[in-house]
A and B are shown apart, each in its own frame.
Chain A
């Protein structure tokens, strides 16, 4: 596609519910990244994929967070038993390949509100 697409753009959920966030990367981009941005804060690294593998998932905050990628394309970030502190904008980005010389292109994000 023309750009990174994320859905939904907004999600309001009740504490304790599970949510799934979706990311469609730019066609041909083999690397895919997830970041979290709380209000007024910087980007917090969560996980990245090269192909369908996740070489670094060190940023996932707890075992309530998981992510997968299939077909070297779409990725889903799942948050189980959501908590109020999970409220943030979740940003997905893709690049040609994971590594030094490949800039990231970001989607518009999913704004998650946990009530």
Chain B
């Protein structure tokens, strides 16, 4: 079992729709979770981070965390073609480790 798992996609949604990206992780003690966006040929950039169970909203983005189910998701409302990219889920392990493990990423395509 991979430490952080994502469906590679591609996930295709029409412009204006809600895109839902999902991630599961294996370390039950993980405490912090990040979503990064990576455009083709570019480096990852941070979108959001979440530490507590529940929802966290930032503009069109909402991160959802359920530690009991070891599940974290990212919702993108009113999807735009400029949102087309690969979305990477990243998880810090339990304990005092600084190691940050990334999933394989989900490719999102927003069609005009």
As a 0/1 sequence over residues 78 to 99 of chain B, the CB contacts with chain A under 8 angstroms (1 = contact) are 0000000000101010001111
Inter-chain CA distance A33–B98, complex, in Å, is: 9
Contact indicator A103/B34 (Cβ below 8 Å): yes
Say if the beta carbon of A25 comes within 8 Å of chain B. no
Contacts A45-B99, A50-B98, A106-B43; A101 near B104 (Cβ below 8 A): no
Number of A-B contacts (CB under 8 A): 57
Q: Which residue of A41, A45, A48, A99 contacts B96 across the interface (Cβ within 8 Å)?
A: A99
Contact indicator A104/B100 (Cβ below 8 Å): yes
As a 0/1 sequence over residues 42 to 85 of chain A, the CB contacts with chain B under 8 angstroms (1 = contact) are 11010010100001101000000000000000000000000000
Q: What B residues does A97 contact at CB under 8 A?
A: 98
Inter-chain CA distance A99–B53, complex, in Å, is: 19
Contact indicator B46/A99 (Cβ below 8 Å): no
Q: What A residues does B102 contact at CB under 8 A?
A: 35, 42-43, 45
Contact indicator B88/A43 (Cβ below 8 Å): yes
Contact indicator A45/B100 (Cβ below 8 Å): yes
Contact indicator A103/B49 (Cβ below 8 Å): yes
Tally of contact residues, A, Cβ under 8 A: 25
Tally of contact residues, B, Cβ under 8 A: 23
Q: What A residues does B51 contact at CB under 8 A?
A: 100-101
Inter-chain CA distance A103–B43, complex, in Å, is: 14
Contact indicator A100/B31 (Cβ below 8 Å): yes
Inter-chain CA distance A41–B34, complex, in Å, is: 18
Q: What B residues does A101 contact at CB under 8 A?
A: 32, 49, 51
Q: What A residues does B101 contact at CB under 8 A?
A: 45
Q: Which residue of B42, B49, B88, B96 contacts A42 across the interface (Cβ within 8 Å)?
A: B88
Say if the beta carbon of B44 comes within 8 Å of chain A. yes
Q: List 28 A-B contacts (CB under 8 A).
A: A41-B104, A42-B88, A42-B102, A42-B103, A42-B105, A43-B44, A43-B88, A45-B102, A48-B100, A50-B98, A55-B97, A55-B98, A56-B99, A58-B99, A91-B43, A91-B44, A97-B98, A98-B97, A99-B92, A99-B98, A100-B51, A100-B92, A101-B49, A103-B34, A104-B46, A104-B90, A106-B44, A107-B43
